[in-house]
Amino acid sequence: MSGGAEKTTGIGIWVEAIRRDRKATIGAVILALFVLLAVVGPFVAEDPDELVGVPLQPPSMQHWLGTTGQGQDVLAQLLVGSRTSLLIGFSVGISVVLIGALIGVTAGYFGGRIDALLTLLFNVFLVIPGLPLAIIIAAYLPAGPFTIMFVLIVTGWAWNARVLRAQTLAQRKRDFVFASVVAGESSFRIVTREILPTMTSLLVSQVIGGTVYAIGAQVGLEYLGLGDVSAFTWGTNLYWAQNDSALLTGAWWTFVPTGICVALVGFGLTMLNSGFDEITNPRLGLERSWRAYLLSKGRKPQRSTPVVLEGTRD
Amino acid sequence: MVYIFQRLAFYALAAWVALTLNFFLPRLMPGDPATALVARLQGRLAPGALEALRETFGLTDAPLISQYFMYLSHVLRGDFGISVAYFPAPVSEVIGTGLIWTIFLAGTAVLISFAIGTLLGVMAAWWRGSWLDTILPPSLVFLGAFPYFWLAMLALYALGFTLGWFPLGHAYGDDLTPGFNWLFLSDVVRHGALPIGTVVLATLGGWLLSMRNTMVSILGSDYVNLARAKGLPPSRVVLRYAARNALLPSVTGFGMALGFVLGGSLLTEIVFSYPGQGYLLVQAVRNQDYPLMQGIFLVITLAVLGANWLVDIVYLWLDPRTRESGG
């Protein structure tokens, strides 16, 4: 950070990180577009339930994305669906990180038997396949967005707990934590004021990863028919496309736009995340400025010491 | 060796958690869906079958603990109750018909994806800055952002429906009888190409990135530099020195990815009406066939746990350090 009048605290550092990284800028723009769509879309769209014309019409001036197998407007359903889908995505993304932080940090901070027990707990949840578990829980609950959110949180928190435990273990051994212990601070204060702030960027990147997971898994569950099939979300749109045999009648417009939206949101979030890597890993930033410096002197940058980029979440 | 048994104990514990979840879920859920199901089937099922169904859901007067042990003994004998959707076939029989196809589909897809992705990762790390390193990974990540089953829908539409290159569904042609002959096997491959291909495409990016990133850090390590300085041929340095060690995190990830990929491949099965667990699962959801759903959950979980254990054994073989500390 070059200091001076530049804001280096609070929101400023995040905005700066996004602005500086081309990938993050692209991601932020894509994401902003979809958030706008989710907020405004449902107000400007026509009634998604209304039968507006002949079923399975291809895209035309009148219906930009054609009509569904029931004769409803595909674009209207897409717009209305975006709000629920994104809302579920972000709330699950935030919830799994909160639960993961609670369990992971507790395990890492207190260690001993608590750690052994909690580690066992999240390892078991990690190894039990998530989708089948989500399905059997969702099948017993009333169909709807809250059920989907609930099952995605139940099956999604373990990964975050594991990563945050490891991070807490590393921080626990640092001098400033020992100093706080000696100073007589309470465990709660040490965790919330000393340890958690050092992980801010990791937490943000986990929320982003969790949201990507939630949107994908949500679409999958709803595609199976576990959502409220009379509501409009991206997943139920695909459910109806499959149910109306859109594929075997050649009606690509009933499922292609939805999938592209899901993927764009996921891609945008992943790109956004890469910009935050620099805050977590200052070496990446150093390497970038060093290369820029060499280029400005008219020299070709050599391969520098390799730095591991953060991979995508699997 | 101790390590292998520790892992086995862990998977046994996980299996027990899954079993117990399976037992308590129908008993704890609000609204009593099981009673509704039994009521719906009243008159359609023989009284004996209805009684068995009641027992499965705990709609008996027996105390919970004895129900629990009853349930455990049933499951251990492979008795998951009776399917509602495929009445009067027992769940174990219904699941048995589709298990081989799911294992074939998900197993082949995971192995192919892991092999190709890892290899591409090695190449991307070696030729850093080439198109393989700059263009391929982001495009694969973009592909990975699509839901698997949506890619499957697209592939089915474009390559199956429009171009007619691949069959539109099922695991083999209706006119063939399963057997170990060329005609049948080649037909299975032809039917499996699209579902397997889409899962591979969607998961390739993850393996590539994970391998590339570990390779990049290992290629800078001292022992690799020494191997290079000794004048060993690059192929030997890359494959025998760097790649073998860089494989370790990917192998660890392999176990975890299994469950995830399996979930995706279950959804892919539905797109292709592939006769595996995913297809059965959707039938179970549509017919509120709770015994079948829970049976599928258990069988899939056990399969994933078993596969994870195999991965642990492979890991042991790859990383001598675990052998020493565990032995």
pLDDT band at A312 (very low <50, low <70, confident <90, very high): very low
- In this predicted structure, the answer to whether residue B43 has a pLDDT above a threshold of 70 is no
What pLDDT does B325 receive? 56
From B17, B26, B300, residue closest to A132, measured CB to CB: B300
Distance CA B259, CA B253 (A): 11
Could you tell me the CATH superfamily of domain B91-326? MetI-like (1.10.3720.10)
- In this predicted structure, the answer to whether residue A74 has a pLDDT above a threshold of 90 is no
Across A152-161, B146-155, B187-196, B318-327, the highest mean pLDDT is recorded for A152-161
What pLDDT does A26 receive? 87
> Which residues does chain B have within 8 Å of residue A242's beta carbon, measured at their own beta carbons?
153, 270-271
Distance CA B212, CA B218 (A): 10
- In this predicted structure, the answer to whether residue A228 has a pLDDT above a threshold of 80 is yes
Across A137-141, A275-279, B188-192, the highest mean pLDDT is recorded for A137-141
Percent helix, strand and coil across chain A, each to the nearest 5: 70, 0, 25
Run of H or E residues at B143: helix B136-144
Share the mean pLDDT of chain A. 82
pLDDT band at A309 (very low <50, low <70, confident <90, very high): very low
Tell me which residue has tokens 């994908």. Answer: A216
Nearest C-alpha neighbor of A131 from the set A46, A194, A224, A61: A224
With CB atoms and an 8 Å threshold, state whether A223 touches B217.
no
What pLDDT does A90 receive? 94
Cα B299 to the center of its chain, rounded Å:
11
Ordered domains of chain A (ranges, CATH):
24-280 (1.10.3720.10), 282-314 (no CATH)
With CB atoms and an 8 Å threshold, state whether A259 touches B145.
no
Q: What percent of chain A has pLDDT over 70?
A: 88
pLDDT in tens, B274-302: 888 888 888 888 888 888 888 999 999 99
Kindly state the average pLDDT of the residues A296-314: 54
What pLDDT does B34 receive? 64
What pLDDT does B171 receive? 75
What pLDDT does A218 receive? 92
Q: Tokens standing for B164?
A: 């007619």
From A129, A139, A241, residue closest to B300, measured CB to CB: A129
> Nearest C-alpha of chain A: how many angstroms from B7?
11
Run of H or E residues at B2: helix B2-28
Distance CA B239, CA B126 (A): 10
Q: What percent of chain B has pLDDT over 90?
A: 10
Chain A / chain B CB contacts < 8 angstroms: 175
> Which residues does chain B have within 8 Å of residue A258's beta carbon, measured at their own beta carbons?
150
What pLDDT does B118 receive? 92
Do A212 and B205 meet the contact criterion of CB atoms below 8 Å apart? no
Kindly state the average pLDDT of the residues A276-294: 67
What pLDDT does A214 receive? 92
Burial class (CB in 10 A: 0-12, 13-18, 19+), B317: exposed
> Which residues does chain B have within 8 Å of residue A264's beta carbon, measured at their own beta carbons?
145
- In this predicted structure, the answer to whether residue A17 has a pLDDT above a threshold of 80 is no
pLDDT band at A92 (very low <50, low <70, confident <90, very high): very high
> Which residues does chain A have within 8 Å of residue B255's beta carbon, measured at their own beta carbons?
127
Do B295 and B89 meet the contact criterion of CB atoms below 8 Å apart? no
Tell me which residue has tokens 């000393």. Answer: A194
Share the mean pLDDT of chain B. 83
- In this predicted structure, the answer to whether residue A200 has a pLDDT above a threshold of 50 is yes
Kindly state the average pLDDT of the residues A131-151: 89
Distance CA A222, CA B190 (A): 29
Do A118 and A106 meet the contact criterion of CB atoms below 8 Å apart? yes
Distance CA B296, CA B293 (A): 5
Task: Name the amino acid, one letter, at A162.
Answer: R
> Nearest C-alpha of chain A: how many angstroms from B306?
11
What pLDDT does A149 receive? 94
Kindly state the average pLDDT of the residues B123-134: 82
Burial class (CB in 10 A: 0-12, 13-18, 19+), A87: middle
- In this predicted structure, the answer to whether residue A3 has a pLDDT above a threshold of 60 is no
> Which residues does chain B have within 8 Å of residue A128's beta carbon, measured at their own beta carbons?
14, 17-18, 259, 301, 304
pLDDT in tens, B13-31: 999 999 998 888 877 776 5
Kindly state the average pLDDT of the residues A79-96: 92
ipTM of the complex, rounded to two decimals = 0.84
CA of B66: how far to CAs of B49, B70, B71, B72, B162, in Å?
20, 6, 8, 10, 57
With CB atoms and an 8 Å threshold, state whether A306 touches B220.
yes
Kindly state the average pLDDT of the residues B55-61: 67
Domain positions in chain B: 11-76, 91-326
Tell me which residue has tokens 């892991």. Answer: B114
What pLDDT does B117 receive? 92
What pLDDT does A279 receive? 60
What pLDDT does A240 receive? 87
0.90 surpassed by pTM: no
Q: Which residue in A has a C-alpha nearest to residue B157's C-alpha?
A: A247
> Which residues does chain B have within 8 Å of residue A263's beta carbon, measured at their own beta carbons?
142, 145-147, 150
Range from B29-33, B164-168, B255-259 carrying the lowest mean pLDDT: B29-33
Task: Name the amino acid, one letter, at B196.
Answer: I
Do A215 and A266 meet the contact criterion of CB atoms below 8 Å apart? yes
